[in-house]
A and B are shown apart, each in its own frame.
Chain A
Amino acid sequence: MSARLDRAALTAMRDFERAALETFAPRVFCCSGTGCHATGSIPLIAALREESARQGGAVQVIETGCNGFCALGPVVIMQPGGVLYCKVRAQDAAEVIASAGGRPVERLLYRDPEGNAVAGMDSIPFFALQRPWILRNKGRIDPENIGHAIAHEAYQGLAKALFDMTPEGVVEEVRASGLRGRGGAGFPTGLKWKFAAASPGDVKYVLCNADEGDPGAFMDRSILESDPHAVLEGMLIAAVAIGSRHGYIYCRSEYPLAIHRLTVAIAQARELGLLGENILGSGFSFDLEIYQGAGAFVCGEETALMRSIEGRRGMPVPRPPFPAQQGLWGKPTVLNNVETLAGVGAIIRLGAACHAGVGTEGSTGTKVFALSGDVNNIGLVEVDMGTPLSVLVNDIGGGVPGKRKCKAVQLGGPSGGSIPAHLLDTPVDYEAITKAGAIMGSGGVIVMNDRTCMVDMARFFMDFIQDESCGKCTPCREGTRRQLEILTRICEGKGEPCDLRALEDLAAVITDASLCGLGQTASNPILSALRHFRDEFEAHIAEKRCPAKRCVALLKFEVDESRCRKCGLCFKACPAGAVIWAKKQTARIDREKCVQCLACFQACPFDCID
């Protein structure tokens, strides 16, 4: 399979690979993303392969990328039939293989909150309420096998762009689809390409931003791990549109599996003539390489990212000139996020209308979210734009675990904000979310229960921003430090009434005077917390009380005897032996021994420790 393909050969290969997949009747798709690796999918896949061989080899075992159902991994899908097994162990391999095409293994099935076993993926709300578009190949293809990707139409969009369309036509199609950059700011992708295409010059660059630094976001990692060819195809189409011959994928070094799969994908694409000189015999040439980041959040900002590829400190520079005119090494450059690029191939292949027809008027298509925090079904989900947040949290996410309540949903990473539980009917749409006080951002959704202190969370985000500020401009470097100091003081019970005013004043200056997006949005977590949870700040300052019982300095570590049910859970949880308790006795805390670790607070189901 080392021949370079032309268009007809690509289509022939697609048909051949598809037929090959279909003739192999029983197939076991085992998730092999970072999450499932950590829960044991590597030994599981080995065991499944061994068992398949022992049972006659009729069952094909396919290693796939992230399936999205991360918290219940390793996840296995049986085809045909779509039976889903959760938390599969290597010792289950014999039963899993034996069940192919027959009765499912009852004890490995997903259980709904009522405890009923559910066999079909499509009957589980987590999957049924999603619309996979970017993630259409997740759990269906082996990311290290280009044949699988081609069987599922990979590079057909590229072929269409090369042979049936003009570069202007490609830009126009993307513009008409309404696709907006999924990296956070939501700038129209077609417009960005149009500017770069219009810039004069023979050397232009296409960059893919895979520096996913937002805490709580893992969409890009999962896309790269499960469908790397979709990203390569997106970059190729961008290159056709603007007339570029060279590109870079800037990927964080914290994602070794994504880098490995990209490396494999690039090598395979080169071998088939899908990258390099004279692609598909069209005369068009483009090649790309991976550039590994070195751990700096600010490098997700486009001008900083370009400085980093140039081998310098990743510090942003003021715009204009915009990268579309003067970007990497001073040449016209287009930078798109992984998720943006992964959707481009299908838009060209199927036409703009199929994207424009989904979602809301201003925000078309779908959005991938990384759902995590205090929610039952943690994982990767993709829904239509305009879907209410409550569907994401309660229906797909299965609500908050335990007897806790949802307090707020944090969106958009450190530059985002928190949307309180009573506004959960807000639709996911760039404008609606901004109106509710957060931002779409790259798509991290972190659910927080009522034990989350919003002052502490604001402090957490300021700690992050302050740590990651590149230090180039004073408002961001010094201003965020002052904000962090004030928030730390408030959490320690040393807050003063004038502090809230000071936080707001600082926020106004930092927002107005910072050089890049990191500084301009740095105060968002504080402003959003002050907007929706001002009473919590006031309780910390005026009453020296943390309503969520999270700020250690404000806690008394005393058991309220009237509420204590004598269950002893705090006694069992305490690592320091500081809880004094015996059966049918009220617990007491020995302040001498207590190390203030909060274990008793988390263990007490009756909230009776103050």
Chain B
Amino acid sequence: MNALTPEQLALADAVVAEHRGTPGSLITVLRLCQDIAGHFPPELIERIARGMNLPVAKVYGVVSFYSLFSLEPKGRHQVRVCTGTACYVRGVREVLDRVERRFGVKAGGTCGSGRFSLEPVRCLGACGLAPVMVVDRDVHGGVTPDSACKILEGYE
């Protein structure tokens, strides 16, 4: 599951080659490589470090610092639940609790079947719709514990 395909590696190499000479481009490279691979297995980190001519420790340090980057593989669907203040005041805690229980997934983790990754995120800036849940690219506003579970049932 962790091994990358030759195509993915070739795409990642192309990204590295394109940005190699630009100062400060490491985060951009990592962002694009995560889009390709989904996460950062050790072999990818080493490959990026070699390609950018940087110490592995520096690349690992940057990957682990930013919440956008993940060292673990993700589920088939990414469920991002906003835990900003407005969503919290409007009851997102109960939504998270119920989703965790219903689908057997812990916040920040992936459920055993690989169906969902549940990721609490800090403020998506859509406070008018609080509480907000984003499944892949679909934004669902005004969710309740019940409606959140119903919405997720629709994603296989």
Known: A310-B23, A599-B94. A38 touches B65 (CB 8 A): no
Task: Verify A35–B89 contact, CB threshold 8 A.
Answer: no
Tell yes or no: A296 within 8 A of B by CB.
Answer: yes
Task: Verify B94–A370 contact, CB threshold 8 A.
Answer: no
Tell yes or no: B145 within 8 A of A by CB.
Answer: yes
Q: How far is the CB of A433 from chain B (nearest CB, A)?
A: 17
Interface 1/0 per residue, B129-155 and A, CB below 8 Å? 110100000011100011000000000
- Docked Cα-Cα span, A457 to B67, in Å, equals 23
Task: Verify B86–A468 contact, CB threshold 8 A.
Answer: no
Task: Verify A378–B127 contact, CB threshold 8 A.
Answer: yes
Task: Verify A374–B65 contact, CB threshold 8 A.
Answer: no
List 19 contacting pairs A-B, 8 Å CB cutoff, sorted by A: A38-B139, A70-B127, A71-B129, A73-B128, A215-B84, A215-B85, A217-B123, A218-B123, A292-B27, A308-B27, A310-B24, A313-B61, A373-B86, A373-B127, A379-B128, A446-B89, A468-B122, A575-B145, A597-B145
Tell yes or no: A464 within 8 A of B by CB.
Answer: yes
Known: A308-B27, A464-B122. 10 other contacts (CB 8 A): A34-B139, A38-B129, A70-B127, A73-B128, A293-B68, A311-B27, A372-B85, A373-B130, A378-B128, A460-B85
- Docked Cα-Cα span, A413 to B66, in Å, equals 20
Task: Verify A34–B126 contact, CB threshold 8 A.
Answer: yes
Task: Verify A35–B86 contact, CB threshold 8 A.
Answer: no
Task: Verify A372–B128 contact, CB threshold 8 A.
Answer: yes
**A residues 288-324 with Cβ under 8 Å of B?**
291-297, 308-314
Tell yes or no: A253 within 8 A of B by CB.
Answer: yes
Chain A's closest residue to B134 (CB) is: A38
Tell yes or no: B17 within 8 A of A by CB.
Answer: no
Interface 1/0 per residue, B30-50 and A, CB below 8 Å? 110000000000000000000
Task: Verify B141–A575 contact, CB threshold 8 A.
Answer: no
Q: Which residues of B contact A597 (CB under 8 A)?
A: 94, 97-98, 145
Q: How far is the CB of A578 from chain B (nearest CB, A)?
A: 14
Give the bracket for the number of chain B residues in contact with chain A. 35 or more
- Residues in B lying within 8 Å of A, measured CB to CB: 23-28, 30-31, 58, 61-62, 65-69, 83-86, 88-91, 94, 97-98, 101, 121-130, 132, 139-141, 145-146
Q: How far is the CB of B62 from chain A (nearest CB, A)?
A: 6
Q: How far is the CB of A295 from chain B (nearest CB, A)?
A: 4
**A residues 451-482 with Cβ under 8 Å of B?**
452, 457, 460-461, 464, 467-468, 470
Known: A215-B123, A254-B121, A292-B28. A35 touches B128 (CB 8 A): yes
- Docked Cα-Cα span, A218 to B122, in Å, equals 12
Q: How far is the CB of B137 from chain A (nearest CB, A)?
A: 9
Partner of B85, one of A216, A255, A313: A216
Chain A's closest residue to B65 (CB) is: A313
Task: Verify A216–B84 contact, CB threshold 8 A.
Answer: yes
Q: Which residues of B contact A70 (CB under 8 A)?
A: 126-129
Tell yes or no: A521 within 8 A of B by CB.
Answer: no
Task: Verify B122–A311 contact, CB threshold 8 A.
Answer: no
Known: A311-B25, A311-B27, A597-B98. A374 touches B124 (CB 8 A): no
- Docked Cα-Cα span, A461 to B85, in Å, equals 8
